[in-house]
Amino acid sequence: MRADALLHRIGEQCRAAGRNPREVTLLPVTKTHPAAAADYAARYGLAAVGENRVQEAAEKRTQTAAAVRWELIGHLQSNKAKLAVEHFGRIQSVDSEKLLNVLDRAAGELGRKLPVLLQINAGNDPAKFGAEPADAPRLLELALTKAHLQVEGLMTIAPLSDDPAVARRTFAHLRTIRDQLAARSGVPLRELSMGMSGDLDAALAEGSTLVRIGSALYGPRD
Ligand SMILES: *Cc1c(COP(=O)(O)O)cnc(C)c1O
């Protein structure tokens, strides 16, 4: 089973980095796969799945009885914020003041406190969403004023590159940003969502607490 192999690899990489594997969560990414992929994850004992589109996740949720939490890992348009708050247990892709405002309002209307991660473009990749590192302090400051949002950490996507050092540098940068923001704000920002199928090892070496894995678990997407 691929999940067994993956968890084994996470364990080995953690031990090599002197880390406790229990600090790391495996988030299966079910995008483009049928709702059965979420059932599979739930049966395996995984608590949450990741999706990058609001509509796709909303549809799949009606097709599965799996008691998993759905996490949004893809770009969110503010006009879909309300729908996103209805369907996702946590939103990892919060990268603007506007999104903070609309998500806080939507969560308030639904009477819930929404866990979020701030997505930071730690690799300074023009092809990626995410707040610029220089804007991260201001974004966090605003997020912490929101009564209906709970900031749990940071998320990043490394630039696509043949050079593994690029991903490693990006993840180290996100961790540095987290450490600085946590020290300044006094908020732990425990979650570091970084690492996908292709850059998992680099992410674990740099302190990832949550790896978002699609193809290494479910096979290639077409
Ligand atoms: C698709 C996706 C993943 C998973 O990618 P794989 O390379 O298939 O593991 C992780 N994070 C985000 C934001 C994604 O969109």
H or E stretch including 9? helix 2-16
**How confident is the model at residue 221, as a pLDDT?**
83
Task: Choose the residue to mutate in 2, 212, 215, 221 for probing ligand 1, maximizing ligand atoms within 8 Å of C-beta.
Answer: 212
Q: Residue 174: CB within 6 Å of ligand 1?
A: no
Q: Residue 192: CB within 6 Å of ligand 1?
A: no
Query: pLDDT digits over 157-177, tens only?
Result: 999 999 999 999 999 999 999
Question: Ligand 1 centre from 196 Cα, in Å?
Answer: 6
Round the average pLDDT of the chain to a whole number and report it: 96
* Closest listed residue to residue 57, CA positions, set 77, 37, 79, 42: 37
Task: Choose the residue to mutate in 29, 71, 201 for probing ligand 1, maximizing ligand atoms within 8 Å of C-beta.
Answer: 29
High-pLDDT (> 70) share of the chain, %: 100
In the sheet where 25-28 sits, what is the strand order?
25-28, 210-213, 191-193, 149-155, 114-119, 90-94, 69-72, 48-51
Sign of the CA dihedral with 137 first, then 141, 144, and 146 last:
negative
Q: Residue 73: CB within 6 Å of ligand 1?
A: yes
Query: pLDDT digits over 1-48, tens only?
Result: 599 999 999 999 999 999 999 999 999 999 999 999 999 999 999 999
* Closest listed residue to residue 9, CA positions, set 199, 219, 158: 199
Q: Residue 6: CB within 6 Å of ligand 1?
A: no
| CA-closest residue to ligand 1 atom 11 | 212
Task: Please state, in angstroms and rounded to a whole number, the distance separating the CA atoms of residues 146 and 140.
Answer: 10
Query: Residue 222 pLDDT more than 90?
Result: no
Q: What's the longest Cα–Cα distance across the chain?
A: 46
Number of helices (H), then strands (E), in the chain: 9, 8
What is the CATH topology of the domain spanning 25-191?
TIM Barrel (3.20.20)
Task: Choose the residue to mutate in 76, 196, 197, 210 for probing ligand 1, maximizing ligand atoms within 8 Å of C-beta.
Answer: 196
| Residue indicated by tokens 């995008």 | 31
Q: Residue length, the chain?
A: 222
Please provide the distance, in angstroms rounded to a whole number, between the alpha carbons at the two ends of the chain. 21
Q: Facing residues of 70 across strands?
A: 49
Query: pLDDT digits over 63-94, tens only?
Result: 998 889 999 999 999 999 999 999 999 999 99
**Taking the domains of the chain in order of start, what are their residue ranges?**
25-191
